[in-house]
Structure 1
């Protein structure tokens, strides 16, 4: 007699592992815990992420920071779409043919959000290391084109081929076509192409560009300290805004690396999620898989808190918007600076931010 240890279709359309048992063994508790995590965490992230991403878009648009504004707003929109599609995918109760491809559509939005963050950090790297060339290199037309080309390339690579690779058979199962399994396309696709685009390559680029940005910011800080010691002003208000957005996005990149590292290590060292011979070990792997997936998906909901915690300018502009006041960048700066000079504590804080 043969029973089947089947992972619910809301997790992955391809996960069904035959287990020869007589009588059938009980489902390991790790699988029950993992299924509960899967069914709950996405709704928590959705409830937190959607309003926070909306707040990011509104606040960043009022921070008056040129080119980076579009990318950061686009990141918030992509994060929201990734959460929405993932929630729809998990919520579906009856598997059908469209859901066969929804997993990869969800991966597309998640991957797009990750690569938009790479674009943002690259733009910040260019602004920090080549400040005199940034305006010529990143025009509005170029950033719009880059965002569109990135979306088109990822969609063609991650979604379009699945319409040929996957099929919905008579037993209502979503599976890889036989010819793709014969040539090993299914393993190469899930284990390498998807993993490279979703986590490994963004992780590598962010490590490199974030490190270069941090080095550049420290060099600029030493320069500002030297200028301040000479008794002259070190930068303009635009320079402060650029530094603020750079620090904010460096922190977002570091959080992304921290939350994505477990998934990278998991997929690097565990090639087969389910072992047909070891039922208990399969359940343990599935539990770890759900935890690292939850951490990766959390990237789509936490950016607002990262921005808020890392940048005083973002906090100040957000509170101004909540109080229905114009953002600080749009106020009468002469009055604002007069208030800063008359307040020793605020003057000291501004001096620390500048130097």
Structure 2
């Protein structure tokens, strides 16, 4: 049918019954169609997997944090709760973008611009909250006596607002460069595509992945080194039989495990996306190599969905690596017997110094 239509069009153009030598029907091998089918499946349906896994977990996380903070809301609790809310907003915006791409509902140019702006800004904001959280934890470990002054709730709110405004400024070009084509979807305007899109692609990836990954590596190395140093100091300050020493070590181990777990998982899920961004334009030397283009499209789809998974799994990482968070969750939802170790104020005073307001 396609060949017949093509021949008819050529006859009308050339006024003869034979195809000119330059006009050929491209042949796509089965592998090409399989790669495109997998890419389409991931881009169409995986966001719903993220929604099912992530949204309930993020909501539960906020509920648990609220219950843990009834007596006192620490900056760590505040950051974790905000992160859960931002993760859910990011997932919802990605679903809206997904449905607009599938032509499930109409959207105009203004809608595209706001969708891209808030979608990219919230996605990057979630990763930057991890940076802020790691910086706060480093301060709690390295400067336990000053953490309350450095990281007050008022300053925490100000930092979050400042970071969000900064990320919004980075993505503000969207209101001039993004449009909607009726037969396609939200995309960069033709006039900006050649000059703006490569720069935007790399800048957005830097803000979303490169900088957060680098900062998390640095902060967590500093945290581990600080924990070791404080552990050595307490060995000289505390008696070997002092219960506070054992409690302090347990607290340090919990904080270290949680931070390292969050960071390692973030890096594992994000680094493939960084690699894709760096190599995207170098993967195919010939623009006419449709097989290479199909493989590149699949690589892009896989790394994008893997990176988006970060917005869905934080609750489960808190549950697995945060003892206090896990106990509060089990107590709140009555999933099983919960026991707490009663420790007097005299024995916990020194043990709480290294982690200060670590929270989880």
Short-chain TM bin: 0.7 to 0.9
Query: Could you tell me how far apart the structure 1 residues matched to 2:289 and 2:23 are?
Result: 12
Alignment pair present for 1:250 and 2:263: no
Equivalent of 1:58, from 36, 57, 63?
Answer: 63
TM-score normalised by length of structure 1:
0.78
Structure 1 residue matching 2:275: 3-state secondary structure: helix
Alignment pair present for 1:163 and 2:187: no
In the alignment, which residue of structure 2 is the partner of 1:110? 123
Relative to structure 1, is the Cα distance of residues 259 and 307 closer, same or farther in structure 2, using a 3 angstrom cutoff? same
Alignment pair present for 1:100 and 2:112: yes
| Offset of residue 174 of structure 1 | 4.6
Would you say the 8 A contact 2:227–2:252 is kept in 1?
no
| Offset of residue 89 of structure 1 | 1.0
Give 1:308-319 correspondences, 5 Å limit.
Answer: 308-319=319-330
In the alignment, which residue of structure 2 is the partner of 1:70? 78
Alignment pair present for 1:142 and 2:155: yes
Give 1:340-351 correspondences, 5 Å limit.
Answer: none
Alignment pair present for 1:37 and 2:49: no
Alignment pair present for 1:81 and 2:86: no
Gaps (5+ residues) in structure 1? 2-19, 339-355
| Offset of residue 76 of structure 1 | 0.5
| Offset of residue 257 of structure 1 | 1.1
Query: Could you tell me how far apart the structure 2 residues matched to 1:260 and 1:295 are?
Result: 7
| Offset of residue 219 of structure 1 | 2.9
Give 1:270-285 correspondences, 5 Å limit.
Answer: 270-271=280-281, 276-285=287-296
Gaps (5+ residues) in structure 2? 3-21, 345-360
Query: Could you tell me how far apart the structure 2 residues matched to 1:49 and 1:88 are?
Result: 16
Relative to structure 1, is the Cα distance of residues 211 and 270 closer, same or farther in structure 2, using a 3 angstrom cutoff? same
Query: Could you tell me how far apart the structure 1 residues matched to 2:227 and 2:38 are?
Result: 44
In the alignment, which residue of structure 2 is the partner of 1:289? 300
| Offset of residue 189 of structure 1 | 1.4
Would you say the 8 A contact 1:321–1:327 is kept in 2?
no
Provide, for residues 143-191 of structure 1, a one-character-per-residue CA deviation record: whole Å limited to 9, x for no partner: 1111111112211221x21111223457666553455346x2222112x
Query: Could you tell me how far apart the structure 1 residues matched to 2:65 and 2:126 are?
Result: 17
Query: Could you tell me how far apart the structure 2 residues matched to 1:220 and 1:258 are?
Result: 29
In the alignment, which residue of structure 1 is the partner of 2:136? 123
Query: Could you tell me how far apart the structure 1 residues matched to 2:249 and 2:148 are?
Result: 14
Would you say the 8 A contact 1:42–1:87 is kept in 2?
yes
Relative to structure 1, is the Cα distance of residues 323 and 163 closer, same or farther in structure 2, using a 3 angstrom cutoff? same
Query: Could you tell me how far apart the structure 1 residues matched to 2:59 and 2:146 are?
Result: 32
Provide, for residues 16-75 of structure 1, a one-character-per-residue CA deviation record: whole Å limited to 9, x for no partner: xxxx97325445210111111122211111011011111111223333461111101011
Query: Could you tell me how far apart the structure 2 residues matched to 1:40 and 1:201 are?
Result: 29
In the alignment, which residue of structure 2 is the partner of 1:10? none
Query: Could you tell me how far apart the structure 1 residues matched to 2:91 and 2:283 are?
Result: 24
In the alignment, which residue of structure 2 is the partner of 1:23? 25
Alignment pair present for 1:180 and 2:179: no
Query: Could you tell me how far apart the structure 2 residues matched to 1:140 and 1:326 are?
Result: 33
Alignment pair present for 1:320 and 2:328: no
Query: Could you tell me how far apart the structure 1 residues matched to 2:54 and 2:188 are?
Result: 33
In the alignment, which residue of structure 2 is the partner of 1:91? 99
| Offset of residue 255 of structure 1 | 1.1
Relative to structure 1, is the Cα distance of residues 175 and 247 closer, same or farther in structure 2, using a 3 angstrom cutoff? closer
| Offset of residue 272 of structure 1 | 6.2
Please report the RMSD computed on the Cα atoms of aligned residues, expressed in angstroms: 3.3
| Offset of residue 314 of structure 1 | 1.7
